[in-house]
Each structure stands twice: as C-alpha cells, then as structure tokens.
Chain A
Amino acid sequence: MREKSFLVNLKEGQNIPPLIIKVERKTYKKYNRLIKEINPMHLSKIYVQKLGYDDVLVAGNFLYSYIPKWIIDWIGAENVETIKNVNVKFENPVYPDDEIIINGKIVKIEKDNNLKTIDCEFNVRKPDAERVFSGNIKLVFSI
C-alpha cells in the first residue's frame, strides 16, 4: 500500500522510476501462444525480412502491456483504477531479445473538487537511445 504522502508529494516535472525490460524471445513466443497470434509479422523471419525488417517484430499488444505494469509498479496495484487513459504510438521496431527502457515524468497536475488528475508522458528507448515508442497517460485519484 502506498503512503498518503505519495500523492501529496507528486510534483510537475517529477520523473517516474524507469523500467528496464529485456524482451526475451522465449517469453515473446509464449505470449504469442497465449494470444494465438497468427500475424506473420510476429512469427516469420523470412516474411519480415522480405519487408525489410531484421527479425520478427514484437507486437504492439505485448509492448503496450509494459506501460500499465510500469505505472502500477509506481502507483501500487491498489491504485490500478486511477489509470484512465493511455495513448501510445509505436515508432520503430522492437525485436526479440532487445532491451528497452521506459522513462517518463509528470507533466501536469490538476486538482478539481475531490479529484487530482496527473498527466504523464513517457518514451521508450533502446540502450543506443533509439526511440521505439512513446505516449502519455492520465491518472485520476480521488482525494
């Protein structure tokens, strides 16, 4: 359980603790089996190489999963219902076994009656700084 001071102490410009993820090929294969993936973009190296990619692409569906996880790590699972909007734009391919780092910060805090709205933005990069996706998140807390 997060302390009440967590919400009180939030400041505009404050960084959210980063999350480093190694997208293991084995894990990604398991995910594809779980969701019964059929898109060759995520399964066939021969197919994607014909389209100019180095390897199968890790699906946006799977990459997206890490954004709420990253936020939940920060706000606590008990505050999961404060996640109201997540917008994400996939910009560059992520391949199996790539490492990605999610960084983000609070851009705006608004108080309205009993609600506190926290707008955050994030970007996800590979260790060489290539941005692979980015977006923003809105959290709404009752106060």
Chain B
Amino acid sequence: MIKKMKLDPVKVERLNYLLQRNIEEIGITEIKPDEVEIGKFCELIEDTNFEGKIVHPGYIMSFTNPIVQQILTKGGPELFSGLVKAFIHVGSEVEYIKPILINKNYKLKVGLSEPVEKSGKKGSFCCISFIFSVLDENNDICVIDNHNCFYKL
C-alpha cells in the first residue's frame, strides 16, 4: 500500500517492484567477514585500539553496501540510472544482538519497507528502507540495520 504519494505513483510502484524483484532474485547472501579487509577499515577510521575476533560494529554498513549496489544494479540500467535519479542513505536504526566474528560464516537477509513520500531540501523523494538482518549459522539474528533511503525519481 502506498501512503500519501504526490510523486508519480506509477514510478513509485515500478521502483518498489524492481527493488523487491531484485531482492528476491539475489536471495540470501553468504558473507564471511575478512580479517584483512576489516583491518584496513579500522586503519581508515584510525581505530587503533580495536583489535580482536569481533567485527568492528562500525563496519556493519560497509558489509551491507555491496548488496545495496547489487539490488540497485541487477537487471541492467532501468533502476539505478533510469528510474532513480539519485539515491541517498538518510539514516539507520541498528540493533546489535550478537557479535559478528571474523572468519565465521553469516547470512545476509534483506527486506523492504513500504514506500513513503518524504520532502527534503532537494524536493520530494520516495523513501523505502532496506531491512538488513545478519544471521549466524544457527539462523540467530546478530545485527539488524533498518537502512533508510531516499530515491529521487
């Protein structure tokens, strides 16, 4: 159900459909946090006091970013360089339930929120959130990121 849409409802429906379709086609992704990559990340943010077997909690969105890109680009240019003129991450609500460990296997599951129109300094946007869940080998949820995104259509 689309709420209070002033944006072109056809475009919003199409956006929602394409995102949902791509998420279904990509399915659940296997991930394995890599020690070297996370080491480089800690170096970039100058977190010298953080080392160990647990993935830095600041890394969670760097972890999910490649999936966001896959969702936006899968199926050719219709979505990202066609329908969507700009894509902005405007906020997140992250819940840490269990620590993510380096070199262990995890699954990344993605869901979508309902589309909602939002207005910003740059005009009207369609807001659809990615709901990322990182699950461990027992399918226990370790981290949830409600990743709120604006789409300029």
B44 near A34: Cβ-Cβ < 8 Å: yes
**In the complex the two chains form, is A90's CB within 8 Å of B50's CB?**
no
Name the segment of B1-9, B17-25, B86-94 touching the other chain: B86-94
State whether A72 and B49 are in contact (beta carbons under 8 Å apart), knowing that A84-B96, A85-B96, A88-B91 are contacts in the complex. yes
- Taking the nearest CB of chain B, how far is it from the CB of A79, in angstroms? 11
Say whether B62 faces chain A, with CB atoms less than 8 Å apart: yes
Does chain A have a CB within 8 A of B58? yes
Contact at B91–A90, with CB atoms within 8 Å?
yes
Q: Given B49, B72, B88, which contacts A73 in the complex, CB threshold below 8 Å?
A: B49
A90 and B54 alpha carbons, distance in the complex (Å): 27
Contact between A68 and B44, CB atoms less than 8 A apart = no
The closest CB in chain A to the CB of B68 belongs to: A39
Q: Are A60 and B50 in contact (CB under 8 A)?
A: no
Quick one: which of A35, A41, A86 contacts B94, CB cutoff 8 A?
A86
Which residues of B sit under 8 angstroms from A130, Cβ to Cβ?
none
| Contact with B91, one of A60, A77, A83 (Cβ below 8 angstroms) | A60
Judge whether B99 is part of the interface by a CB distance below 8 angstroms. yes
A83:B96 contact, CB within 8 angstroms: yes
A36 beta carbon closer than 8 Å to chain B: yes
How many residue pairs at the A-B interface have CB separations less than 8 Å? 114
Given known contacts A34-B44, A81-B99, A87 and B54 CB-to-CB distance under 8 angstroms: no
Could you say which residues of chain A place their CB within 8 Å of the CB of B73?
38
Chain A positions 15 through 46: 1 when the CB is less than 8 Å from some CB of chain B, otherwise 0: 00000000000010011001111110100000
**A65 at interface, CB cutoff 8 A:** yes
Taking CB atoms, residues of chain B closer than 8 Å to A68 are 56-58
- Contact size class for B? 35 or more
Judge whether A41 and B87 touch: CB under 8 Å.
yes
Q: B44, A64: Cβ atoms under 8 Å?
A: no
Given contacts A35-B62, A60-B89, contact A83 B57 (CB under 8 A): yes
* Structural contact, B92 and A87, CB atoms closer than 8 A: yes
Distance in Å: Cβ of B119 to nearest Cβ of chain A: 14
Q: Given A65-B41, A68-B57, A36–B96 Cβ distance below 8 Å?
A: no
Given contact pairs A41-B87, A89-B91, A80 touches B57 in the complex (Cβ within 8 A): yes
B114 proximal to A (CB < 8 A): no
Is B47 within 8 A of A72, CB to CB? yes
What 0/1 readout, one digit per residue, does chain A (34-74) give for beta carbons within 8 Å of chain B? 11111101000000000110000101111011111100110
**Given A52-B122, A80-B50, A81-B96: 4 more A-B contacts, CB < 8 Å:** A51-B85, A59-B89, A86-B92, A90-B88
B residues whose Cβ falls under 8 Å from a Cβ of A: 37, 40-41, 44-47, 49-52, 54, 56-62, 65-66, 69, 72-73, 85-97, 99, 122, 152
